[in-house]
Structure 1
């Protein structure tokens, strides 16, 4: 899908909505002001690092020492999840002024759609194999991305992050497992401590591998010289923020590698241009206003995918979800919550010109993050144990995917929501769109809560990872379990939808990748994140990695799948509003609201699309199209 055109089904006089252009505003460095759109703008970097020095290493991965597998008797450790403020905040007890209706309207929409269709291609994985196994560390933090004919997966190991390189052709191991810290030698990153993030920079066809160090506040970043992670030269950077950067999540963007961290809502921009050139690189920090009643706060950045670049000068974008029953209980909207965007425009030459703009609110349907958490972080029940698992309820899940189709831009993401008694959880997913460039706003295109029809008992779905392919199709992978009969231990499943499907629902059948075989009893940490990506070689094949419970300990899984329609030229049609009320017959014509119809090009389709009514309208109804045919 490369672009969208619009026609108007005129059942009445059409009205046109116009976006307001952002006027240039002269500001002074250090100033915070409200712009013409009513949004706060903070000018000037809060903090600028000294240049991090590049260190280059050529290491043929096939000659490196293999990290030995964990065995009984080896150490077991937990990587702490930093929590700021009063521990009682973890109990998530909301006391909103305005009562909230029970239930999730979007989950009811999904159930009403049915169980979904069994698409033979999408629901049959191409690769479905175990990834790296138990390492003695809780949680494993599985991360992986795809590019250049390879898939790289990384997890938390006993001595820092470990990674394995797989061939995308058949899922076989090309090299590994190796320690991430072994990509360099000595220095601040000589001892890694995990929280790995693996990204393939599709703009540069290079790999970005990261973790933090076991001492100091180092973000250890390894950048490949090319797309082959087995034989490439690596350049290492040790970036040192002013305090420990817990839970760092990265995003690829033309002007920077953006990073969010659980560090008083810190956002960072690393000088990508300097890094790609192998030069000393600085990074800048901007703080984001914190939300009340949350002790763990991190905003993930949107990360570029695809072939169509963002508009020239587009800033980096960070996102968070706001449950105003919890975060603003004194004046909550009982029917709606919001996603907030913050745009980071970095100027590495003149940091005083750097700006952070936001929060920019986007209204969504109400969701619920007020899980009952008796202690620690656990909320998700498991069969056969009282140990609860961490749902990671505070953040939008990494990675947040950006993809452009000509002048239409998309951002897809997801987060967990509580939908029922006993902490029953589901995944709220969303797609934002912006059309026509930077002068126009991001808006909510669609959202859904995935709880399919046919669950035999209350079922939990959480720890989601989502992505969009080059045809606009979406895939969502996640953890799934059921604490009551018929029970199911923590497993992995996925689901999807095609670009032209009804909005707000996942339309394929739910597909199980692997069933869990036991309960996790020693720790409540789970995840802390999974990852979904799309192979840039074809723009169609999704690659997913996540955690499940093996016979006695956690394990990880790697899978790939694709829609058979991806890459085949066709078109999609969506419209809004799709339903209107007609109260009584009338002797004179009654004008209904116009229906805005979007015609999307899928995989380069450019043949005119004719619109007509045929015999589809009831007696007494008429209408017309403002444009027909339409070329997508």
Structure 2
């Protein structure tokens, strides 16, 4: 068990004019960003060039000559808090930090949108401290559970689509979205943007010090933020985003937060740079791969704890679970949090948008098992409880095929998204099963009414030889489950697809999949598996409780690009939305036959006999 301490941290004030200092905020001056050499340069890959384009390649922000230099924090070491230690006999540690206010309307320009970056791309992991853990999947008890598949029902209907952030100097993008009343907020490595729901761009900036300024730069974030995520908290109508920071040569680790002051992201944001260097024995540990979610009580960040160099002890400690009290950030007051260190890796945090639904934490813990974590009081010293849930057998999948290039790395069978609605919990990941080499997105529904128990499982297994990757699921207020996923094969460049199910559909099944945006090519600029994802995102619109919003990734000749889409899950054959599939709907289909229209149920761009077949399934 890692040891308890009070981690007190003061916010950092920048000299830039975009900042506002309230009377409650104590701050210090940020020194300029320092540059220092890393022990070894990170691997890099070159952005694809457009045919006939002779423009010189851009310099990466970390590039010095032919080398890539790990960033330095620029923070005076004398001002750093001590590592977080847990007192003997205690399972929690607490901390707090002051708010730092930034008015987004003072960024000039408001939309610092850049064309796709044309230079060497590097992975954020390549400038992180060296780290690894045993990813062998434990063999857990065998069972006779089976996963369902795809039906010929049409359930997913796209309602909007628009381009998100395009290629930055980093790969993969790690796209995430937050949807409120009127806006869609997006984060990627290393940018943030927001749009009207019609796709009109309103704001876009770099997150780190490569911006002018970066969105998190004034709060003290240096030249390196990574793994950003965001959500909209419907209980308080605020946008919340998180990004991690680690500076290996300075022995610093941070979990940096930003919270809008109301339901409009244009305006004040309260920003918090929270200390996250954990000590255990002789070693210090930093945070990687955040989970990020919420319930009525608080916000929650999880992450894998890896060791910095020096000292004796394990290289991997387990997971941090940080519970953040949202009371302070409602008014720009100091934020307080409670930390736990728990066993296991890669816990994902649920979104829990309905009152009374407590957050759950989910991870893959065996080849036939998930583990659910919970606590009664996120801010107390009560126990962390875990419960196993048996699921159909699966194996790890490490490669998705593409028509060109070496293929895509799909990481491991960690859980990518968790969503709670009442006593129903949905989760998703990408795996192999049944002896097939195909990568399949798998989803689960778990009943939380008593001890957690699997209700059903299903797989997004389309045509043989195809891979489905990075599935993200959500549950709407009518009980429908929607999913966004990537789909690729030796013959198919990566696309973004959607599918879904409604209550009453055959157990364990999802609908016929629909492509909502097609990639033009595949990444092919190296011999190693290409980084993709690392995750997609799917959420529910709080206005109607029925519209799904999602973000995914495609590849264009200019590099990677993200696409934001909205869709609804229902009986797609009910074309006039009167709650019945009848002659009136058939009349609409026949009128559109041979052309375009809402009766294009399979999304192939033509209303034809295939759509009629899908229609008749629900007749």
TM-score (norm 1): 0.67
- Is the 2:208–2:221 Cα contact (8 Å) retained in structure 1? no
Q: More displaced, 252-261 or 338-347?
A: 338-347
Q: Once the 2 structures are TM-superposed, how far is the Cα of residue 56 of structure 1 from its aligned partner?
A: 1.9
Further displaced range: 531-540 or 243-252: 243-252
- Correspondent of 1:379 among 399, 403, 409: 399
Change beyond 3 A, Cα 1:187–1:85: closer
Answer yes or no: is 1:499 the counterpart of 2:503.
yes
Residues 338-374 of structure 1, C-alpha deviations (whole Å, 9 max, x = no match): 22111133464xx5x332112x0122121222x4xxx
Q: How far, CA to CA, are the matches of 1:97 and 1:240 in structure 2? A: 36
Distance of aligned partners of 1:569 and 1:65 in 2 relative to their CA distance in 1, 3 Å threshold: closer
Q: 1:239 aligns to what?
A: 274
Among candidates 415, 419, 439, match of residue 425 of structure 1: 439
Q: Go from structure 1 to structure 2 and tell me whether the alpha carbon gap of 1:44 and 1:559 turns closer, same or farther (over 3 Å shift).
A: farther
Q: Is the 8 A contact 1:200 1:208 kept in 2?
A: yes
User: 1:383 is paired with a residue of what secondary structure?
Assistant: coil
How far is 1:248 from its partner? 1.2
In structure 1, how many angstroms separate the alpha carbons of the residues matched to 2:443 and 2:141? 25
1:532 is paired with a residue of what secondary structure? strand
Task: Name the residue aligned to 1:465.
Answer: 472
Alignment CA distance shift 1:255-1:72 (3 Å)? closer
In the alignment, structure 1 residue 270 sits paired with structure 2 residue 324: yes
**Counterparts of 1:472 and 1:129, CA distance in 2:** 26
Cα pair 2:351 2:420 within 8 Å, conserved: yes
Q: Distance in 1 between matches of 2:319 and 2:569?
A: 37
Check if 1:410 corresponds to 2:455. no
Task: Report the CA distance between 1:265 and its aligned residue.
Answer: 1.9
Q: Which residue of 1 aligns with 2:114?
A: 69
CA 1:347–1:451 in structure 2 vs 1: closer, same or farther (change >3 Å)?
closer
**1:419 aligns to what SS in structure 2?**
coil
Is the Cα contact below 8 Å between 1:67 and 1:179 reproduced in 2?
Answer: no
Q: Distance in 2 between matches of 1:141 and 1:410?
A: 26
Whether 1:445 and 2:455 are equivalent positions in the alignment is yes
Match of 2:542 among 531, 536, 550: 536
Q: 1:167 to 1:419 in 2, by over 3 A?
A: same
Match in the other structure for 1:345: 376
Q: Give the superposed CA RMSD.
A: 3.3
Equivalent residue, structure 2, for 1:302: 350
2:164 corresponds to: 131
Please report how far the alpha carbon of residue 183 of structure 1 lies from its aligned counterpart in structure 2 after TM superposition.
3.9
- Aligned-pair distance for 1:189? 2.1
Q: How far did 1:449 drift?
A: 1.4
**How much does 1:84 deviate?**
8.4
Map residues 254-333 of structure 1 onto 2, 5 A cutoff. 254-263=296-305, 264-290=318-344, 297-305=345-353, 308-310=354-356, 314=358, 316-324=359-367
Q: Distance in 1 between matches of 2:319 and 2:271?
A: 26
C-alpha deviation, 1:249, in angstroms: 1.7
- Distance in 2 (alpha carbons) for counterparts of 1:97 and 1:191: 43
Question: Displacement of 1:73 after TM fit?
Answer: 5.4
TM-score by length of 2: 0.68
Deviation at 1:473, TM superposition (A): 0.6
Match of 1:39 in 2: none
Partner of 1:392: 411
In 1, Cα distance between the equivalents of 2:299 and 2:330? 11
With over 3 angstroms needed to count, the CA separation of the structure-2 counterparts of 1:83 and 1:403, relative to structure 1, is farther
Match of 2:562 in 1: 556
| Number of equivalenced pairs | 463
Pairwise CA distance, 1:279: 2.4
What is the alpha-carbon distance in structure 2 between the residues aligned to residue 381 and residue 83 of structure 1? 30
Q: Tell me the alpha carbon deviations over residues 117-137 of structure 1, each in whole angstroms, 9 at most, x when there is no partner.
A: 335xx33x2222221111121
Q: 1:78 to 1:184 in 2, by over 3 A?
A: closer
2:192 aligns with 163
Residues 97 and 272 (structure 1 numbering): CA distance in 2 closer, same or farther, change over 3 Å?
A: closer
Structure 1, unaligned runs of 5 or more? 1-28, 31-42, 291-296, 325-336, 372-377, 572-632
**Distance in 2 of aligned mates of 1:46 and 1:520:** 47
SS at match of 2:327: helix
2:511, 2:539 → 1: CA distance?
20
Contact preservation (8 Å) 1:138, 1:526: yes
Correspondences of 1:7-406 after superposition (within 5 Å): 46-60=91-105, 63-69=108-114, 74-80=119-125, 89=134, 92=136, 105-106=146-147, 109-110=148-149, 114=151, 116-119=152-155, 122-123=156-157, 125-156=158-189, 161-168=190-197, 170-177=198-205, 179=207, 182-183=214-215, 186-213=218-245, 215=247, 216-230=252-266, 232-241=267-276, 242=278, 243-263=285-305, 264-290=318-344, 297-305=345-353, 308-310=354-356, 314=358, 316-324=359-367, 337-346=368-377, 348=379, 351=380, 353-358=381-386, 360-369=387-396, 371=397, 378-385=398-405, 387-398=406-417, 400-404=418-422
* Deviation, structure 1 residue 211: 1.1
Deviations 1:82-119 (Å, cap 9, x if unpaired)?
A: 798777x56x588x699999xx942xx425xx4x2335
Distance 1:260 1:97, change over 3 A: closer
- For residues 563-620 of structure 1, give each alpha carbon's deviation from its aligned partner in whole angstroms, at most 9, with x where no partner exists: 356999989xxxxxxxxxxxxxxxxxxxxxxxxxxxxxxxxxxxxxxxxxxxxxxxxx
DSSP-derived class of the 1:60 partner: helix
Whether the 8 Å CA contact 2:373–2:385 is kept in 1: the answer is: yes
